A and B are shown apart, each in its own frame.
Chain A
Amino acid sequence: MTRVVEGGAAAKAAVPPSKQSRGLPRWRRERVAGLLFLLPALVYVVAFYAYPIAFNVLMSLEKYTLKTFVTGEAPFIGLDNFKHLVNNPEFWPAVVNTVWFTVGSLFFQFTLGLLIALFYQHKFPLNSILRALILVPWLAPVLVSGAIWVRLFDQDTGVINFAIHSLGYQGQISWLTDPHLSLISVLIANIWIGIPFNMVILYGGLQAIPRVLYEAASIDGASAWQRFRYITWPLLRPVSTVVLLLGLVYTLKVFDVIMSITRGGPADTSQTLNTWAYSLAFTNGFDFGLGAVAGDILLVIVFAFGMLYLRYAYRELRETAS
Chain B
Amino acid sequence: MSGSTSSPARSRRARPLQSRLKTVGWTAAGILITGFMLFPLYWIVNCSFMSQTDILQTPPPFIPPNPTLDAYRNALSTAGGYIQSSFIYALGTVVVTMLVATPAAYALATVRARIGSLLLFGLILAQMAPGFVVANSLYSAFNTLGLLNSYQAVILADSTIAVPFAIIIMRAFMIGIPRELAEAAKVDGAGQLRIFRSIYVPLSRTALITASLFSFLFGWGDFLFALILNNNPDHTPITVGIYRFIGSYSVEWPSVMATAVIAVIPAAFLLAIAQRYVAAGITAGALKE
B99 vs chain A, min Cβ distance (A): 7
Knowing A11-B189, A41-B119, the reply to whether A140 touches B264 (Cβ < 8 A) is: yes
- Is A288 an interface position by the 8 A CB rule? yes
Chain A neighbourhood of B34, CB < 8 A: 130-131, 133-134
Least Cβ–Cβ distance between A262 and chain B, in angstroms? 11
Residues in B neighbouring A68, C-beta threshold 8 A: 140
A35-B116, A132-B271, A152-B43 provided; 16 other pairs, C-beta below 8 A? A11-B189, A15-B189, A34-B113, A35-B113, A37-B192, A45-B122, A48-B159, A136-B264, A140-B41, A141-B263, A144-B264, A255-B223, A295-B133, A299-B130, A303-B129, A313-B286
Is the CB–CB distance between B136 and A139 below 8 Å?
no
CA distance A64 to B219 in the complex (A): 29
On chain A, the residues within 8 Å of B160 by CB distance are 48-49
> Which residues from B are CB-within-8-Å of A12?
188-189
Which A residue sits closest to B46, measured CB to CB?
A159
Report the Cα distance A288→B137, complex, angstroms. Answer: 9
Please give, as numbers and ranges, the residues of chain A lying within 8 Å of B193 by CB-CB distance. 33
Q: Establish whether residues A41 and B43, one from each chain, have CB atoms under 8 Å apart when the complex forms.
A: no
Of A87-95, A103-111, A276-284, the one contacting chain B is A276-284
8 A-B pairs closest in CB distance: A12-B189, A8-B188, A141-B221, A41-B104, A34-B111, A52-B137, A49-B126, A139-B267
B116-139 vs A, CB cutoff 8 Å, 1 = contact: the mask equals 100101111111111111101111
B198 sits at the interface (CB 8 A): yes
Contacts of B156 in A (CB 8 A): 48
A150-B246, A259-B243 known; A4 vs B198 contact (CB < 8 Å)? yes
Q: How many residues of chain B have a CB within 8 Å of chain A?
A: 112
Say yes or no: is A42 at the interface (Cβ < 8 Å to chain B): yes
> Among the listed B126, B130, B192, which residue makes an inter-chain contact with A274, where contact means beta carbons less than 8 Å apart?
B130
CB distance B128 to A306 under 8 Å?
yes
Tell me if B56 counts as interface (CB < 8 A to partner A). Answer: yes
Q: Is B14 an interface residue (CB 8 A)?
A: no
Q: State whether B242 touches A147 (Cβ < 8 A).
A: yes
Instruction: Pull 22 A–B residue pairs with CB atoms less than 8 Å apart, ordered by A.
Output: A7-B198, A33-B191, A33-B193, A36-B192, A41-B101, A41-B103, A41-B167, A45-B126, A50-B126, A52-B138, A53-B129, A120-B30, A124-B30, A130-B33, A133-B271, A134-B34, A141-B223, A148-B40, A204-B283, A250-B289, A253-B289, A314-B121
CB within 8 A of B270: which of A33, A50, A139? Answer: A139
Asked if A5 and B188 make an inter-chain contact with CB atoms under 8 angstroms apart, the answer reads yes
Residue B9 is within 8 A (CB to CB) of chain A in the complex: no
Task: Find out whether the CB atom of B104 lies under 8 angstroms from the CB atom of A53.
Answer: no
- CB distance A140 to B263 under 8 Å? yes
Range for the number of chain A residues in contact with chain B: 35 or more
Using CB atoms and an 8 Å cutoff, list the residues of chain B in contact with chain A. 23, 26-27, 29-31, 33-34, 37-38, 40-41, 43-44, 47, 55-60, 99-101, 103-104, 106-108, 110-111, 113, 115-116, 119, 121-134, 136-141, 143, 156-157, 159-160, 163, 167, 181, 184-194, 196, 198-199, 217, 220-224, 227-228, 238-240, 242-243, 245-247, 253, 256-257, 260, 263-264, 267-268, 270-271, 275, 278-279, 282-283, 286-289
Residues of A within 8 A of B128 (CB): 249, 253, 302-303, 306
Kindly identify, within residues 27 to 69 of chain A, every residue whose CB is under 8 Å from any CB belonging to chain B. Answer: 30-31, 33-42, 44-45, 48-53, 55-56, 59, 64, 68-69
Interface of A is mostly: helix
Partner of B131, one of A30, A134, A140, A255: A255
In the complex, residue of chain A having the shortest beta-carbon distance to the beta carbon of B58: A157
Task: Please indicate the chain B residues that have their CB under 8 angstroms from the CB of A252 in the complex.
Answer: 130
Residues of A within 8 A of B (CB): 1, 3-5, 7-9, 11-13, 15, 30-31, 33-42, 44-45, 48-53, 55-56, 59, 64, 68-69, 116, 119-120, 122, 124-127, 130-145, 147-152, 156-159, 162, 192, 195-197, 200-201, 204, 242, 246, 249-250, 252-253, 255-256, 259-260, 263, 274, 277-278, 281-282, 288, 291-292, 295, 298-299, 302-303, 306-307, 309-310, 313-314
